[in-house]
Amino acid sequence: MAPPRKRRPGFSRKAQLQIFTGYLLAFTGAFAGLLLLALSYFDPAAFSAVRSIAAEVAAPPARLLTGVRVSTQSSWREVSAYFEAGSKNARLEREVERNRVRLIEARALKQENRELRRLLGLIKQEGRPVATARLINSSASSSRRYATIDVGSRQGVQRSQPVRAQRGLIGRVLETGPNTARVLLLSDAENVVPVRRARDGVVAFSQGRGDGRVDIKLIDIGINPFKVGDVMVTSGNGGVYPPNVPVAIIERLTSDGAIGKLLANPAGTDFVIVQEMYEPELADPDTGTLPPVSVAPASTAPARRAEPAATPAPASEAPLPPGTAADTPRP
């Protein structure tokens, strides 16, 4: 008699062992998750240390997978570019003609800004690069937006340092490990960045929406001056992000501002630069030292000292005009 097709697990030790192993792994995973949840709630510092250790362990395989992904994307881009070379060539020639005029205007504006900066005594401090890193992973489905880079405290990376890519700003360093660091992305809801419109300096601030876009909110509520296609850059206010770093381009207007799309997409970014925190200072244009607190008067002529009001003299000592009897000596 042939054995039944669907046998109960009790007839096979292998099936029993597989079921037992499945239950054991599920129980272990649930217990570890509950333990980490309790640790993050009652001891955030210890949970941060555990998370840093996990990031250190996961960094080598993540770096390997990132290299494979980048190589695959590069190969596909090269194949696509081969078939689209003709149309791209014509489009690039038109862009070169337009950009030549813009370059001349930009050089003139740069020279004008240099002269104005010299008159105002404003030193422009651009944060020097601290380290160049590879962005090895970023959150795509969580409500919070984080990324991990493969440099840490051993390379000089510290908390709150800005992180930028070639196309624009990425975020700022939130936590550091020995060889990895956690970055708070611009699209996170708790990341607020002072920005301004690139063409005329309208001041606003951006706040992440959690979906790869940011809310551009005006500081002065009134008539909405934004237009679709406006480019927003950092303003430098607050002393963290350096000024004039591209942030987003406006896609849609709202009642109190606009919604912008980030120019630097972490999912398509391979390498980033960690910079020092931006701290603007006012300084003397000749000596490079900080100016004194007192302000020089506008006029070069010495100021006249205020004279005390004359007190009325007594009647016996009151001055008399010349030629009177008081001026002629008595015999």
CA-nearest of 266, 137, 279 to 191 is 266
Q: Answer yes or no: is pLDDT of 291 > 80.
A: no
CA-nearest of 261, 250, 244 to 227 is 250
Q: What is the pLDDT of residues 75-88, one digit of tens each?
A: 888 887 777 787 77
CA distance 255 to 218: 10
Lowest mean pLDDT among 101-105, 233-237, 256-260, 305-309: 305-309
Structure tokens at 83: 């078939």
Q: Where are the chain's structural domains?
A: 23-83, 128-279
Mean residue pLDDT of the chain comes to 78
pTM of the model: 0.56
Sorting pLDDT into bands at 50, 70 and 90, what band is 286?
low
∠ CA(99), CA(93), CA(100), 5° rounding? 20
- At 151 the pLDDT is 94
Q: Measured between alpha carbons, how far is residue 131 from residues 63, 202, 261 in Å?
A: 17, 32, 27
DSSP letter string, 195-240: EEETTT--EEEEEE-SSSEEEEEESS-SS----TT-EEEE--TTSS
- At 120 the pLDDT is 56
Mean pLDDT of 186-192: 92
Lowest mean pLDDT among 103-117, 153-167, 213-227, 300-314: 300-314
Name the fold adopted by 128-279: Thrombin, subunit H (2.40.10)
CA distance 136 to 143: 19
Query: 246: Cβ–Cβ under 8 A, 6 or more apart, which residues?
Result: 167, 168, 169, 198, 231, 232, 233, 263, 264
∠ CA(123), CA(218), CA(146), 5° rounding? 75
Between these two residues, 111 and 173, which has the higher pLDDT value? 173
